[in-house]
């Protein structure tokens, strides 16, 4: 009787360990990748708004960077971790301007790996300043 109980307890421990090492990484994968996708969507939306504003400003300007910072903060993203590129930096009437935002999102899955996923967002608008 005692032997049988001890055996069952050992089996239950083994089963729980096995389940945890599989289920915990799965659960964290769903949470971490879901969070990364949410951030990617927010960054994309900020890139679209930034491209529109860059068109109005006629390219790169301090106001644009302030605007992007505000947009990112409103979406819960730290602007310091996001790189903003405007190409070309100065555009005229009807010339295309491209705004790119890039950042690295850290993902950590217990028992498996920790890495950073690069998130890139770009949008193109057209210059509205007649120089």
Stretch near other proteins under the rule CB under 8 A, chosen from 1-9, 29-37, 61-69, 74-82: 29-37
Residue 56 to residue 58: CA distance in whole angstroms: 6
For 120, the 3-state DSSP assignment is strand
- Pick from 6, 10, 30, 78 the residue near other proteins by CB under 8 A: 30
Q: Binding to other proteins by residue 102, rule CB under 8 A? A: no
Two tokens at 6? 């001890």
Stretch near other proteins under the rule CB under 8 A, chosen from 51-59, 63-71, 73-81, 83-91: 51-59
Q: Binding to other proteins by residue 124, rule CB under 8 A? A: yes
The dihedral over CA atoms of 31, 33, 36, 37, expressed in degrees to the nearest 10, equals -110
């Amino acid at each position: 009787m005692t032997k049988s109980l001890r055996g069952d307890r050992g089996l239950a421990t083994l089963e729980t360990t096995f389940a945890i090492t599989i289920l915990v990484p799965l659960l964290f994968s769903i949470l971490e990748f879901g969070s990364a996708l949410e951030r990617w969507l927010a960054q994309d939306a900020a890139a679209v708004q930034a491209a529109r504003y860059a068109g109005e400003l006629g390219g790169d300007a301090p106001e644009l960077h302030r605007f992007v910072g505000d947009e990112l903060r409103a979406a819960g993203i730290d602007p310091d971790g996001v790189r903003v590129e405007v190409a070309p930096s100065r555009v005229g009437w009807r010339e295309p301007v491209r705004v790119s935002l890039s950042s690295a999102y850290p993902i950590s899955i217990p028992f498996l790996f920790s890495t950073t996923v690069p998130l890139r967002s770009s949008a193109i608008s057209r210059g509205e300043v007649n120089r």
